[in-house]
Amino acid sequence: MKVFIRLSIILPVLLVFALFQSCQDETYVIYTANSPVYMSYDSLRSAVKSVEVQALNKPGKIYFKENYIFINEYMKGVHVYDNSNPSNPQQLCFIEIPGNVDIAIRDHYLYADSYIDLVVIDISDIQNPKEIDREEEMFEYTIPEYDEEYELAQIDQEKGVIVAWEVKEVKELVRHQDYYYPIYWGYRNGMMEDALINYSGNKTGGSPSGGGTEFGVGGSMARFGQLDDYLLVLKNSWQISTFSVNNEGKISLEGNWNVGWSIETMFIRDETMFIGSQSGMFIYDISALPVLTQLSQFMHFTACDPVVADDRYAYITLRTGGACGRGENVLEVVDVQDLNNPFRVKTYQMKNPNGLGIDGDLLFICDGSDGLKVFDASSPKTSLPLISHFNEIHAFDVIPLGTILFMIGDDGFYQYDYTNIQAITLLSKIEVVDTASIE
């Protein structure tokens, strides 16, 4: 009798639950949304190749190796130029690397992110690049920017990486769990931002070289770094991965290190790594790679934060806007002679600073829409005299190389001769072409 009583109670409950679950499974919603366009993983992993030259449309980060300039075409690949004559760079080819934002080069091997993978490309024959290695699922599953007037349709990671969106009417089962995907470093208003978005299932919602190895040079926005036989990569917003690299350029993952939070950039000086994050600068000893040892940190208000350093000072640009917080637009000068005890010595107001570069007593700052600024940094604790100001461009990042300055902006790639710092001369410019208007 007791058994019958229990079943008489339990069975109706189970029936109601089953009916409720069944109703849930059959509940659909129809709405206009950003519907993902996928590239299969097989296609992604066979996509690296050289194609005919094409126009620079959405320039990203810049890199220099020997007489070659490499300019990232945001999410598409890399433009390659012969820069033997800086007054007249010659475009050689375009290397297709889907989902690419960052690169690094050692000897004749190019390392690049490709959506969720890290790929190694042999560029000994620059016009015939060959993929030789790949670390699959190295990075987070990340989505492109989308039309924010519409919601996101359901994302199925099993179908591949998302390469585009199609705004259309979709019919989907009602979903009851939120998913979080980071957006790729975006291309908004001519500058790069790193934003994290909430994808809701509900309808309501620069580097030194070591030994005989030859490294290239990147800008201050770099997320890749190198030292000796190691490649360091910002894996996500809180981790750095260390890879050993063999003589054939192939990589082997040695470890993942939690190094901070909201990290964005890395700058390597000798055997020290300076990490820029939205919350502060973190300083690490990398003399015993693949092990990273934190030495200190310098905290600041929430802001986007590239950093460069010499043996006296670290220079940090902090900017507001988008995912960069609501702090201030400033340059922070931090004393780093004692790496275990960094401290602020001076703050300078800026408009909306992005990348920067240091060469001796010269400091180059890309101040967003206020252009490129060149400062005398011989006594940054007391003053930072402005030497030159190119205010007709929206500047993003720079690489100073002794006498030649590379600068990338929203309208193109510039080269300046700063042999005479009082008379900086524009040598050449590679224009950005609006391919959408051509089509």
323-357 tens-digit pLDDT:
555 568 899 999 999 999 999 999 999 998 999 99
Q: What is the pLDDT of residue 244?
A: 98
Q: What is the pLDDT of residue 392?
A: 87
Mean pLDDT of 147-161: 93
Which backbone phi and psi does 109 adopt, to 5 degrees? Answer: -120, 130
Q: Is the N-terminal amide bond of 290 cis, ω within 30° of 0?
A: yes
Give the pLDDT band of residue 145 (cuts 50, 70, 90): confident
Q: What is the pLDDT of residue 262?
A: 83
pLDDT > 60? residue 202: no
Give the pLDDT band of residue 437 (cuts 50, 70, 90): low
pLDDT > 60? residue 210: no
- Cβ-based neighbour number of residue 339 at 10 Å: 15
- Cβ-based neighbour number of residue 85 at 10 Å: 11
Share of the chain above pLDDT 90, in %: 71
Angle of CA points 105, 106, 110, to nearest 5°: 40
Q: How far is it, in rounded angstroms, from Cα 13 to Cα 62? A: 64
Which residue type occupies 256? Answer: N
Q: Is the pTM of this model over 0.95?
A: no
- pLDDT tens-digit map of 262-275: 888 999 999 999 99
Q: Which residues in 371-381 are b (16+ Cβ under 10 Å) and which e?
A: bbbbbebeebe
3-class state of residue 54 by DSSP: coil
pLDDT > 70? residue 315: yes
Q: What is the pLDDT of residue 181?
A: 74
Q: What is the pLDDT of residue 171?
A: 86
Q: For tokens 């040079």, name the residue.
A: 217
Q: How far is it, in rounded angstroms, from Cα 40 to Cα 21? A: 33
pLDDT > 90? residue 299: no
Within a 13 Å sphere around the CA of 176, how many CA atoms are in the beta-carbon half?
A: 4
Q: What is the pLDDT of residue 358?
A: 96
- pLDDT tens-digit map of 12-42: 444 444 444 444 456 888 989 999 999 999 9
**Contacts (Cβ under 8 Å, ≥6 apart) of 313:** 333, 334, 335, 336, 345, 377, 380
Q: What is the pLDDT of residue 10?
A: 39
Give the pLDDT band of residue 122 (cuts 50, 70, 90): very high
Give the pLDDT band of residue 321 (cuts 50, 70, 90): low
| Cβ contact 133:249 at 8 Å | yes
Question: What is the residue-averaged pLDDT of the chain?
Answer: 86
Q: How far is it, in rounded angstroms, from Cα 91 to Cα 54? A: 9
What is the C-alpha R_g of the chain? 25
Which one has a higher pLDDT value, 323 or 9? 323
3-class state of residue 163 by DSSP: strand
Q: What is the pLDDT of residue 156?
A: 93
Q: What is the pLDDT of residue 326?
A: 57
Which one has a higher pLDDT value, 328 or 407? 407
Q: What is the pLDDT of residue 349?
A: 95
Q: What is the largest CA-CA distance in the chain?
A: 101
Give the pLDDT band of residue 54 (cuts 50, 70, 90): very high
Helix ranges (DSSP H) in 254-310 = none
Give the pLDDT band of residue 203 (cuts 50, 70, 90): very low
Q: How far is it, in rounded angstroms, from Cα 158 to Cα 329? A: 42
Beta strands across the sheet bearing 217-218 = 49-51, 90-96, 77-82, 68-73, 59-65, 217-218
The pair of three-digit structure tokens given for residue 333, joined into one six-digit string: 């000068």
- Element housing 256 (H / E): strand 251-258
Q: What is the DSSP letter of 368?
A: B
Share of the chain above pLDDT 70, in %: 82
Q: Which residues pair with 330 in a beta bridge?
A: 318, 349
Q: How far is it, in rounded angstroms, from Cα 438 to Cα 238? A: 41
Q: Of the given ranges (61-70, 242-251, 300-309, 372-381), which has the lowest mean pLDDT? A: 300-309
Q: What is the pLDDT of residue 229?
A: 97
**Signed CA dihedral, 118, 122, 126, 128: sign only:** negative
**Contacts (Cβ under 8 Å, ≥6 apart) of 151:** 31, 33, 34, 200, 203, 205
Q: Which residues in 51-75 are b (16+ Cβ under 10 Å) and which e?
A: eeebebbebbbbbbbeebbbbbbbb
3-class state of residue 141 by DSSP: coil
Mean pLDDT of 382-404: 94
Mean pLDDT of 145-169: 93
**DSSP states along 365-431:** EE-BTT-EEEEE-SSTTT---EEEEETTS-EEEEEE-SSEEEEEETTEEEEEE-SSGGG-EEEEEEE
